[in-house]
Amino acid sequence: MFDFAKRKICANQLTNIMKGIAALAPTLLLTLILTSCMSDGYTDTAAGKSDTYINLNVSTPTAQARANAPAKPAGTGGKLGLEETYPSPNTEEKITSIRVWAFKSDTDRATATPIGFKSETNLTAQGSHKVSMMITRKNAENLHKIDLYILLNAESEGVLDGKNCIKMTRADLENLVIKNQFGITAEGTAQTRVVPQAGLPISRVIKELDVTDNIKDNATDAALHSINIPLIRAVSKLHFFFTRKKVKDKDKNTEGVEVTKIEVNENVIPTQSSVFPTATTDDNKETEGLTGGLTSLSYLNQKMTFGSVATKDIGPVSDPTSYIRKPGQTAEDYITQLRGVTTECHLSYLRETDKELTGTIYYKLDKSGAEKQTPFSIPKAYRNHEMVVYGYFLGDEKSTLTLNYYVAGWNEKTATDIVFD
């Protein structure tokens, strides 16, 4: 049963409270308005006066190779150079995320934090991407040179997990390492046989970059003065091709040849490698010859083993020696030629190393025959380098596997040809 007397008292108290709130309402509203104005006045965001902008056109090595000229945005049409190949698979140049750190050049490496940081994730870019980064006007005053650290697809390795990116110093960034992927599994196989879902790690460091004419008051003007930055992959690429001579002579038949396994020796693949390459300066933005920090590396005391290559995957050709790369033949034409007659085998992506990639290819001339072997030694597998191994069976009296392979900058200008008999 309700107590109507108490109910009346409560109603009176509520009325008094509401009157008090009504009396205070104008003051509260004025306070809220003043606070909002003070915030806008302090940041000046609405007027666009608090921040300045810088724009970057970043590009993967393949996209940069396709550019007609350095002055054009990366990724435009054009012809590949002598040592340049299209990505295969095309996921080799996908961009799923980007982080850019900008530091004032004359600040302490170990303590200075970024004056600008930009992070974009869930991207679906291919080959190139445009980045607009804000730098507060206070930091942009009298700013002429910056140090840029750029990282694509960090999620492929997880190097930024749990880190506060906007507080990272140059020393923090330079200490980032690849150690979870692109090595050897516990079972002794290549850890990364396909491009990770997040893409390959791609990076760059440019110091003393003069941005005097590139920092603008708004993003539109900054886009008209963009800086083109070519990047490089933080890993190398290895793949194998095999052919055999078609012969009618029963004694020289190659119908039964097979590769039984391929081994890369222990103490060759490092336990970790640097995420970022060594820095270049504003006057040297080319990527050729860049490597990561290669001092004090430790190595996996474990062999890396690739499985067999069946006879059906060893392409029968009239003259296997005609598939040795010819002087002046472009890398793209050569890869296309090999893929036209045989199967690409054991593609893998590896941490860069300062050691020669040594190992052994085991094979049989027929299924019931004895296993034979041929050693190989490929020059140092630095980052952004592609190693193509071509082996062939002639079915002659030597009855051996002949290896021919080259190591080229993955979209760079120089290559080394090496032949092992």
Rounded to 5°, the CA angle 384-239-301 comes to 80
Helix (H) or strand (E) run with residue 153 in it: none
56: pLDDT strictly greater than 50: yes
Q: What is the C-alpha to C-alpha distance for residues 31 and 241, in angstroms, rounded to an integer?
A: 75
Q: What is the C-alpha to C-alpha distance for residues 127 and 95, in angstroms, rounded to an integer?
A: 7
Topology of domain 236-420 in CATH is Immunoglobulin-like (2.60.40)
409: pLDDT strictly greater than 70: no
Q: What is the pLDDT of residue 2?
A: 30
185: pLDDT strictly greater than 60: yes
Question: CB-hemisphere CA count at 13 Å for 1?
Answer: 2
Helix (H, G, I), strand (E, B) or coil at 385: strand
Q: What is the C-alpha to C-alpha distance for residues 374 and 419, in angstroms, rounded to an integer?
A: 12
**What letter does residue 331 receive in the DSSP assignment?**
H
What percent of the chain has pLDDT above 70? 77
Which of 63-67, 72-76, 344-348, 388-392 has the highest average model confidence (pLDDT)?
A: 344-348
**What letter does residue 284 receive in the DSSP assignment?**
-
- Number of Cβ within 10 Å of residue 344's Cβ equals 15
Say if residues 379 and 416 touch (Cβ distance below 8 Å): yes
For residues 202 and 8, the model is more confident at 202
Q: What is the pLDDT of residue 201?
A: 97
Helix (H, G, I), strand (E, B) or coil at 132: strand
**What letter does residue 23 receive in the DSSP assignment?**
H
- Number of Cβ within 10 Å of residue 141's Cβ equals 8
Question: CB-hemisphere CA count at 13 Å for 56?
Answer: 26
pLDDT band at 78 (very low <50, low <70, confident <90, very high): low
Q: What is the pLDDT of residue 343?
A: 94
Helix (H, G, I), strand (E, B) or coil at 240: strand
Q: Looking at the structure, give the CATH architecture of the domain made up of residues 51-233.
A: Sandwich (2.60)
Q: What is the C-alpha to C-alpha distance for residues 346 and 191, in angstroms, rounded to an integer?
A: 12
Q: What is the C-alpha to C-alpha distance for residues 250 and 408, in angstroms, rounded to an integer?
A: 39
Q: What is the pLDDT of residue 379?
A: 81
As a whole number, mean pLDDT of residues 8-24 equals 47
Helix (H) or strand (E) run with residue 95 in it: strand 94-95
Each residue of 82-115: pLDDT tens digit?
Answer: 777 777 888 999 999 999 999 999 999 999 999 9
Q: What is the pLDDT of residue 40?
A: 26
Q: What is the pLDDT of residue 41?
A: 26
Say if residues 138 and 144 touch (Cβ distance below 8 Å): no
Tell me how many helices (H) and strands (E) the chain has: 6, 23
CA 214 distance to own-chain centroid = 26
For residues 119 and 407, the model is more confident at 119
pLDDT band at 417 (very low <50, low <70, confident <90, very high): very low
Rounded to 5°, the CA angle 264-270-273 comes to 135
Q: What is the pLDDT of residue 43?
A: 27
- Number of Cβ within 10 Å of residue 150's Cβ equals 21
**Residue listed under structure tokens 């392979």:** 405
Q: What is the pLDDT of residue 369?
A: 87
Q: What is the pLDDT of residue 282?
A: 74
Q: Is the peptide bond before 73 cis (omega within 30 degrees of 0)?
A: no
Whole-model pTM: value is: 0.81
**Residue listed under structure tokens 């020669």:** 356
Say if residues 40 and 49 touch (Cβ distance below 8 Å): no
- Paired tokens of 80: 């590949």
As a whole number, mean pLDDT of residues 263-267 equals 96
Least confident of 235-244, 326-335, 398-407: 398-407
pLDDT band at 366 (very low <50, low <70, confident <90, very high): confident
Q: What is the pLDDT of residue 86?
A: 75
Q: What is the pLDDT of residue 399?
A: 61
Helix (H, G, I), strand (E, B) or coil at 70: coil
Least confident of 260-264, 314-318, 349-353, 385-389: 385-389
